[in-house]
Amino acid sequence: MSEATLHPTDPSPRRVRRRPLGRNLVVGLGVVGLLVLTALVGLVWTPYDPNAINFSVQLIGPTPAHPFGTDNLGRDTLSRILKGASTALLVGVISVGIGSSLGLLIGAVAGYIGGLIDDLFMRIVDALSAFPTVLLALLLAAILRPGVVSAMLAVGLSSVPTFARLTRAGVLSTRSLEYVEGARALGAGEGRVLGRHIMPNILSPLVVQASLSFAVAILAEAALSYLGLGTQPPQASWGKMLRDAQSFIALSPWATIFPGLVIALTVLGLNLLGDGLRDRLDPRNR
């Protein structure tokens, strides 16, 4: 038996080297996981009733009984932070869902059809982008009423232009590529070409934008609640907690420190997640 028989010339299969997860992505995923866990815990359990008023423990600092202290009404800060996490998560998911779905639809139709439809849809997007989030919240609060629904709609509509422009740019850059023309030549309908061959190939930047918009949504909801346009009392909200504690910051800074830290860490983690996803999904890094 020849040596060629014993040792075939076929190359051995190469091991596929997987790129390790980046530090930003790992930290971002950890923060998002902690936010989801906190929101779930807050839905089913809190150390105290988050709305229970107890004037005997007003504005105390961290103690074993109240690890994050209490506010001006004697409500447990930790319990309200846990409860507020579910509000923040709900606002983030709903508002990003509104902005991404409407923006994706408008951008895809405008970029694929072009012409008059493109001009009309983009002018609508330009008009929508001229309204700040606070102004939209004021308008919706007048039409509906101040509350978390108005805040979610305002934040969601404010993010539509970003998703629409990003989707339109992706569709314009791919609609004339060879594989798209090949799908048309094989008889694929326009809807199939758009949904099957174009949209899946432009989702990466949209996923990154969704994670960044999630952070913006949580920050915007906190700002609107601080201004009295978002979550209404007695429902817990991180922004509303800051507003309630503002007048008593000299007596007990803890009532502002802990909600502020939670907001800052959540937004930072989501931004790191967006940066990590961008690095991970960028084809130039593969």
**Residue 1 domain-assigned (yes or no):** no
Phi, psi dihedral angles at 191 (to 5 degrees): -65, -40
Measured distance CA(166)–CA(202) in Å, rounded: 9
Q: Which domain holds residue 134?
A: 22-47+68-285
* Residue 118: C-alpha distances to residues 18, 166, 172, 209 (Å): 41, 14, 11, 22
User: What six digits make up the tokens of 25?
Assistant: 């992505």
Query: Dihedral (C-alpha) 262, 264, 268, 270: value to the nearest 10 degrees?
Result: 50
Q: What share of the chain is helix, strand, coil (3-state, %, to 5)?
A: 70, 0, 30
- How far apart, in whole angstroms, are the C-alpha atoms of residue 260 and residue 83? 15
Q: What is the pLDDT along the chain (286 residues), one digit of tens a residue?
A: 444 444 444 444 455 456 667 889 999 999 999 999 999 999 999 999 999 999 999 999 999 999 999 999 999 999 999 999 999 999 999 999 999 999 999 999 999 999 999 999 999 999 999 888 888 888 888 888 889 999 999 999 999 999 999 999 999 999 888 888 888 788 888 888 888 889 988 999 999 999 999 999 999 999 999 999 899 988 999 999 999 999 999 988 999 999 999 999 999 999 999 999 988 886 656 5
212 three-state secondary structure: helix
Structure confidence at residue 181 (pLDDT): 80
Assess if residue 247 is contained within a domain.
yes
> Is residue 259 a part of any domain in this protein?
yes
pLDDT at 36: 94
Residue 83 in contact with residue 50, Cβ under 8 Å? Answer: yes
Amino acid 286: pLDDT: 56
Instruction: Please report the pLDDT score of residue 283 as a whole number.
Output: 60
Instruction: Tokens 């936010």: give the residue.
Output: 35
- Domain assignment present for residue 252? The answer is yes
* Any domain includes 60: no
CB 237 within 8 A of CB 151: no
User: How far does CA 115 lie from the centroid of its chain?
Assistant: 32
Question: Distance (Å, rounded) from C-alpha 59 to C-alpha 261?
Answer: 18
170 in any annotated domain:
yes
CATH number for position 242 = 1.10.3720.10
From the list 103, 102, 122, 201, the residue with the least C-alpha distance to 193 is 201
57-63 long-range contacts (CB < 8 A, ≥24 apart) are: 59/248, 59/251, 59/252, 59/255, 60/252, 61/252, 61/254, 62/254
Inside any domain, residue 200? yes
Domains held by the chain: number: 1
Residue 205 in domain: yes
Phi, psi (degrees; rounded to nearest 5) at 70: -135, 165
CA 137/CA 143 separation, integer angstroms = 10
User: What is the structure's pLDDT at 184?
Assistant: 78
- Number of residues assigned to the chain: 286
